[in-house]
Amino acid sequence: MEYFNFSNRVAIVTGGSRGLGKAMALGLAECGANVVIADVLENEQTIEEIKRFGHGALFVKTDVTKKRDVDNLVKRTVENFGKLDILVNNAGIFVAGPAEEVDEKTWDKIMNVNLKGQFLCAQAAGREMMKRRYGKIINIASIAGKSAFNQGLVYNVTKAGIIMLTKSLAAEWGRFNVQVNAIAPGIFKTDMTNDLLGTDAIKQMIKNSVPLQRFAEPNELVTTVLYLASEVSTYITGETITVDGGWTCHL
């Protein structure tokens, strides 16, 4: 059986224009899915790369903090492809700073994108999936939702919230055959982290803290997304899979 054949499946990837979101979108497309990219920034190259796999590709400009945008995203997806099977809830931001200096504007911005945005997208997608009694929602959390990053208070709180959002939706929507799971990534190499990962301080931190003693490549997250989106994982819901090279498994 071709467990990772997504032919005729339709997937939305939020924050999919670049970075890990782009890698996940391309991974789904390579396995046969029609992919909708939802982002505030359009990247024509990403859409063209998806199309090279011979499947449908669509970009819908979406601010995940706005219900109107999110509802339009799901509507456009169904209009173009007839259904929605998979949502990868990836859009998110990170702002570092001491807890005592976090202002209300920063708190609201991170909360709105990371937590409210994931809720709005899951809610809109879930409504469509429940009609068909089939759906796979994959929320991208972080190891920061389990063990706090220093000077990452608001980000940490949102990622912990995503883990509980995942459990809550899974508990409610299981009877509709809608599975909701999350992934908690550790350190991954992307265009945005290249410079950081090249510093001596980060190299030493990885060596000391990560049992596998290396950062991860994007495909090592993509394969986990494919697993949760596939028919291999039909009895898994409400779970958060940690993909961090063992970083959080020890003191």
Instruction: List active site positions.
Output: 155
Is 139 in a helix, a strand, or coil? strand
Residues 6+ apart with CB under 8 A from 78: 84, 128
CA-to-CA dists, residue 38 to 12, 33, 196, 212, 250, angstroms: 7, 15, 27, 33, 36
Beta bridge partners of 14: 38
Q: Which amino acid is at 198?
A: G
24 is written with which tokens? 């996940």
Cβ atoms of 64 and 113 within 8 Å: the answer is yes
Cβ atoms of 182 and 238 within 8 Å: the answer is no
Residues 6+ apart with CB under 8 A from 56: 10, 34, 35, 80, 81
Neighbours of 99 (CB within 10 A): 11
Give 165's DSSP letter. Answer: H
| E strand residue ranges, the chain | 10-14, 34-39, 57-61, 86-89, 135-140, 178-185, 240-243
